[in-house]
Structure formats: structure tokens, C-alpha cells
Amino acid sequence: MDAHRLTLLVTAALLAALLALGLRLQLWRRKNASRWLHHTLFFLVCLGVALTALLTWWAEGWRLGGRGTALLPALALLLLMPRTQPGRANHWKLALCCAVAFGLGAWAAW
């Protein structure tokens, strides 16, 4: 398995864990207990998306407009996430948009 595909799968698993933990925090309102884990997962997902995009570009020979650019919208949406307030509708809606953008980008980058 190529390095960019492996990082893509690991990042997808981290994103799934991040979304599940965020949903648990939203539904059961135990914000302080798992908040540090949620932030750590968010950082790892951002790092994983950026690393996957770089590895995909590297595998293609640094060609602009290639498969690596498919993950950039997901990274941009992830970087907008701190501008939303946790627990509000705009936070979880943006999280779902990030997941969809990542899924479409992962499909294109595979």
C-alpha cells in the first residue's frame, strides 16, 4: 500500500473518531471530560489531511491540479472550524461539511 493511501485511511479513521466523539459531547453534554481528546483528534485530522495531500502530490511528481488538490477544500473547511462556537448548529453543520469534503477528496485522491 502506498504511503498516501495509508495516511488517507488513518486520517479517515481519526475523522470518524472525531465525529463520534463530537456527537457524544453534543448529546450528553460532558464537555470537560473529553474536550482535550476532541481537540487532539482535531489537530491530528488537520495534520493527516495536509500530510495526505503532500504525499499524494509527491507520488504524482508535484503536478499542480492533480489528485492532491482534491483534499484542499476539506483542509480549508477544517481550518474554519475554530471560528464556530462548539455546541451551536453552525459547528456541527461545518463538521458535516468537512466530512463530506474529506470523503469526496479521499475518493478523488485514492
State the residue for C-alpha cell 475523522.
15
Q: What is the pLDDT of residues 71-96, one digit of tens each?
A: 999 999 999 999 999 888 999 999 99
User: Alpha carbon of 63 to those of 4, 49, 60, 84, 92: distances in Å?
Assistant: 15, 18, 6, 34, 34
The domain in which residue 90 lies consists of: 3-109
Query: Could you give the number of structural domains in the chain?
Result: 1
Q: What is the pLDDT of residues 3-33, one digit of tens each?
A: 999 999 999 999 999 999 998 888 886 666 6
